[in-house]
Structures are given as structure tokens and as C-alpha cells.
Structure 1
Amino acid sequence: MVTPINDLHGWDPGSMVKGERLMRCKLASVHRLLDLYGWTQLPNTCLTVRNAFGHILIHFSLSPSLRSLQVKVNILGEVVEKGSTALGVDLSAFALHSAVYSARPDIRCLLHLHTPATAAVSAMKCGLLLLSHEALLVGDVAYYDYNGVMEEEEDRVELQKSLGPTCKVLVLRNHGIVALGESVEEAFYTIYHIQTACQIQVAALCSAGGEQNLIMLDRSVHRPVATGTVGWAGSTFGPMHKSRLGEHEFEALMRTLDNLWQKAEEIMQGSGWAIKIENPNQFVPLFTNPQEVLETRNKIREQNRQDMKTAGPRSQVLASVITDNSPPTPEAVGPPSAPEPETPNPFNKLTDRELEEYREEVQRKQDGTR
């Protein structure tokens, strides 16, 4: 059974700020997308988003993709709102997110992945190579020797120095990758392309047999334009509005989730009205005009009687096209010619005795005797 993400019906705590409901939905939707792509790694997948008041929402990977199960904490990891879950906060894992949020006030969302491809690239001395279009899209990449915990202040300072003021991708050596974004859409856009770039790099290194056999892209020459970059966009039914990075792709993925939910709902509950079958010919929905049903039935019967059924409308795209090797018409071929006479049978004038002598002679020749 597919549980709806928007499950905050009748639950509105006083600590929820403006826009937090939508933010919770987006964060839960991202987790459902990661699970759909197979990128979740038990408790190691950590997703967080920061609201306008500086509080951080944490989504647990072991819980269902529901926005009511997200825990709200402050920058120190102290719980502000537990939601509907009884799970606690892993402060050792949250310390990494806390350090990034403290150093980068422009960042609103962090996505932390440990997939085999990202973990493999994080363990390579060469780091992320510019082998693909996706590797160029992610921009600058920062590297940090992560030991699993960040209890000391020196570790936090070193992380903040490695990250810098503008980098949106952080590679944790021998651990995984963290994608940063000014919105949930941008963070997922970055993590999607970094995951694809890592998969391409792992496959290319295995196939080519080493970095020396690969062709690298030059960032100064190849300048891909990110789809959905910040700009002005309009819609058919609305005014011009500012479009952010990853917004269009995220909206398309939300439609995909809606379609999957509708399909699952139809499988579980079915669709349509319940109809009581009283006779073999009663397959008509309720509240239908009987006269229209009768006319439609008569038309179908008339088509069957006169053999008027076709395979459907024919395409008129190639109606005026004349091919050179079209088959000749019957008028050009002309009337069929008379069949050629058959060769007469040489045994028609032989008697039965002569036929028997002929068979014996053939048999002797086959046996090798005269």
C-alpha cells in the first residue's frame, strides 16, 4: 500500500512557520525519489532542510516517506518538534550537516548519499573526473578527509575551509557525497547529476583500463547550460515568474510520483461504479440514457451485419507520395496467357507386360547384373 506524503491533516503545531508544510512535502518526496532510484542506504542516507527561522528538518531513511515523521531541530541538534515519530536524532551524523549550515547561510538543503558509485569515486585519488556532461553540470567539487565523526572544533573548521563559499558538492573521502542547494529542487538536481557522473566514471575506468586511456573535457571549452537555470519563465495560465535551478525537473518528477500513486491506488481499490449484472447484456454504467444505449447498440449491430468494421482511420501523411517500385495495375499487365502444353508421357502406349519387363531391366541394372 502506498501511503500519501501529505499526511498532516488536522495537525498544525504552533512551531510550524510559513512555507514549512510545502518544505516537508518536498523533503519527503525527495526521499521517495531516492528510494525509487535505489539510492537509499539504510540509516546512512540523511536528508535535511532548513526553514526561514533557522530550524532544520531531518528525514529518517528508515521511516516511511511522510512529512509528519520529520523531526525539527535547531543548529545544535536539540529537538524543537518531534512530529509523529518516536525516533531520536543521531547527533554524530547530524554534526556534519550542522557544520555545513553554520558555514553556509545560503544553503537551505543537504542531501547525503552513500551509493556504490559515489563511494567508489570518493575513494579514488583522482576524484571526480570531467568525463561527461553531468560532471560539468555539478560545477566545482570540494574534498574533505572525513573520519565519520565531527566532535572536535578543529574538524568543523577544516570542513568549512574545504567547502569554501560557493561550492555545492562535497566529497567525503572513502565515505560518500553531500549535495548542497539553496532549495530542495537544486539539491536534488545536483545529487542526481553527481550520481550519474559517478556511475559514468566507474564504468569508464573499468572499460578503459585506467585514467590515461580516457578523454577529459575542458571546462573552458565545454560549457553546458544547466536546464532550468535561474531566469524568467512564463506559463499559459499565469504571469512571468522567476525559475530556479532544478525546478522544472523536480516538477516533472512530482508528476511521476503522482502517476505512480494513482496507479497503486487503482490496483488496491479499483475504479468505476459498482454495477449489478441482471442479464448477460447489461454492461452499461449507471445514470445512462436508455435511448442512447439503444441507438449505439443498433449502430454496432448494423456494422456487424454489413461488415463495415475497419482497423480505424488511415493516415493521410503519405497519401500523395508515389513510389517508384509500386506494383503494376491489372490493366498494365494484360489478360493472363494460355498455359504451355505439357510433355506427353512416354509410358502411356506401353502394355502391362512391357512395363513389367522394363521394371525388371531397371532392377538388374541397379543390382549390377545383366
Structure 2
Amino acid sequence: MRSSKQYVNLSHNKVENHLKTLQNEFEEEVVPTDTVTYKLRQFFWSNFFGFVYHYFKSRFGKRYPYQSYPKDGDSGVYRIPNDATLALLSDWATDTIESDLVGRLVARYQADYTLHLGDVYFVGAPKEIRANFLNPDASWPWGTQGSLALSGNHEMYSNGRGFFEELLPRMGVDQAGVRVSQKAGFFCLENDHWRIIGLDTGYTSVRNPIMEIINPPDCRLKDSQVQWLREQVKLGDSSDSRGLIFLSHHPVFSVFRNAFPKPGEQLREILGKANRPVAWIYGHEHRMVIYHTQQLKNSLTVHGRCIGHGGMPVELKAPETHDPIYFMDDRIRTRLRRRDVSYNGFAYLTLQGPNAVMKYIDVEDTMIFQENWRVENGAVIVEKADAV
């Protein structure tokens, strides 16, 4: 199991993350009592050419082929009960004591569905997928009716192979008593009142490493995903008055770092002129934030919720402005490498017909925030939101 100190000051740079993965694997192979460990570690860090070999070997290969749903058969649209519970975690898969505690806490809640909103650290390698989700001692909390996953940028740092080959085949949901495996990195869970739509923003968060510097990715929804939203989800059906809850790894809105508005613009184009408020839950940033409702330019009216506090050290960096923030968990839990960090946790969503209750629970099983939602003519209305 890793120490959370390994993640302090972790950047979103692919080279650094891959280097940390190689370092972690190296340190696991060194006997702790070996008196030359420190010198070997120094050599490892200075062995730049050895690292470059491994980096180019894994990073510059082809991305795993993009997966979508067939037009006949499994459409990726799954029916769930009108009364259901869902646990949502993002940036959880760190294989640390903190992520283990969060995972085992979520398991105690016995949610019908558990959803991971992306980022398996450091680079989503098959070994890291297995350590967090699949090994006998892995602490991923499987839902009683199923689990589903989205990819973040970290899964794509190893070109998505671990995510598509190892993780998705084990993910899935029960449909009419039959377990259906997840086929693609996006999905829709729906009942009579709600549609919970998982969006894949991870696959387009990387491109050729050189081109990434010249023209950074915008995390747009690929054409086949847009087609799926139009034709199989039928998202543009104006007669469908169910509430929309979008899930993604990358934030459509943020006051801390660059946001990724392109998916919201694409969804607005699909939904047409009817700009009804939606809930949008995401991670990527390692913090827990409740935003005031935002009317995004050329996009949607969004109740934005950041839950990137699943397993990474939770950042306490001050935002550029507090105006759009309704609530932020800024409590100090501990100090790692001279950096204050906050509490890890998850979100627990209870659907009750046209109503919903969203609870934000920390690693100590303390509910720190709760809000009540309802659906009214297709609009998601926040009725009450309070810090506890």
C-alpha cells in the first residue's frame, strides 16, 4: 500500500506521474533493510535515460481503441429503481490508507450502485487497476446492484489499456437479474424521474505529447459519444421531463484551475434551446466544493459539485474568488510534507421518486453537507442545501 505522502504536490504532468510509477515499482522490489537502498534510489532518480526509455515505451504507443455501444443489443442505457442509492467517488484509486478507509466506509453503506468518476494513480497501469479494484485485498466498494467507472486523464497516461482491458469488463449493473458488463467509458442510469449520465472526458484529455503542449486538449466528447447521446439516450427529446445529473471526471466549471467547458457546449447543442438547470458532478481537482448555480456561456445552467476528494491529499489552496462558492470543505485534517490537507470522502445520493438527497460524507463518517433536490418540468431544483 502506498503512502499518501507520495501524492503531495503531484502535478498533472504525464512525465512526472510516469516517473513516480516507476519509482514506486522500484521501491517495492528493494528490501527495506538493504543498506544501499538510498544510493540506489539516488541512482534511479538520476538515471534519466533509463526513465526516458520506459516513458517512450509506454506513453508513445497508440491509445486503446475507443469503445462505444452497438445500435442493437446493449445500449449503455440501464434501468434503475425509482428509489435507489448511489455512492460517488472521484480521484479515489490511490491505493493508500486513506482510500482504503474511504472504500471500506462506503461498503458499509451498501449502496445499490457505486460509481468511480475517474483517475487511477499514477497512470492507470494494469497493475494499479488491479491493486485498487480487482485484487482480493482491494478496497473498491462494489454496489449491491452494480458498479460503473469513468476514465480520467490518469488512466489515459498509459493509453487506456488498463482501463479498457482490466477495469471495464469487471464493471457492470444488474438488469432483470442478469449482470451486464460495462462496454464503454460512458453510460446512462435512468428511472421514471431521473437520468444519471456518465460522460467520458478522459479519452480526449490526452493527445500526442508534443501536440499537448502546443494545443492542449479540451476534453470534448468524441463524435461517437455525441451520437450515442442523440440516438440511444435520446437526450434531445423535448418531451422527456426527467431531471438530468451529469457525471464527468473533468470540471465544466471551476474557480481554482482551468475548467473544460467544451462538453457543456456540446450538451447544450444536443438539448437545444430548453436550458433547464442540471446537476453536474465531477472530480479532477482534489477538493470538495459546492458551487452556486451557474449559467455557463454558450452552455448549460449548472449546479456544479466537485468531489475530487476520494483518495488524493485534499488541497486547501485558496480560490481566485469565493463568489461562486456556496460551500467548501476547508478543514485541516493533517499536514503532509509541510502542506496542510483536508478530509477525504465521498458523496451519497438517495433517489426517492422525483426527490433526491445528496449527502457529502468524510473519511470519519461525518456528514459535512446535505442538500435536497427535486425535479420540476425537467429542471433540477436545489430546495435546501446546508452545511452540517
* TM superposition score category, shorter chain reference: under 0.3
More relative contact order in 1 or in 2 (CA 8 Å, sep 6+)?
2
Q: Greater helix percent: which structure?
A: 1
Question: When the two structures are superposed, what TM-score results if normalisation uses the length of structure 1?
Answer: 0.27
Question: When the two structures are superposed, what TM-score results if normalisation uses the length of structure 2?
Answer: 0.26
- Work out which of the two has the higher radius of gyration on C-alpha atoms and give 1 or 2: 1
Q: Greater strand percent: which structure?
A: 2
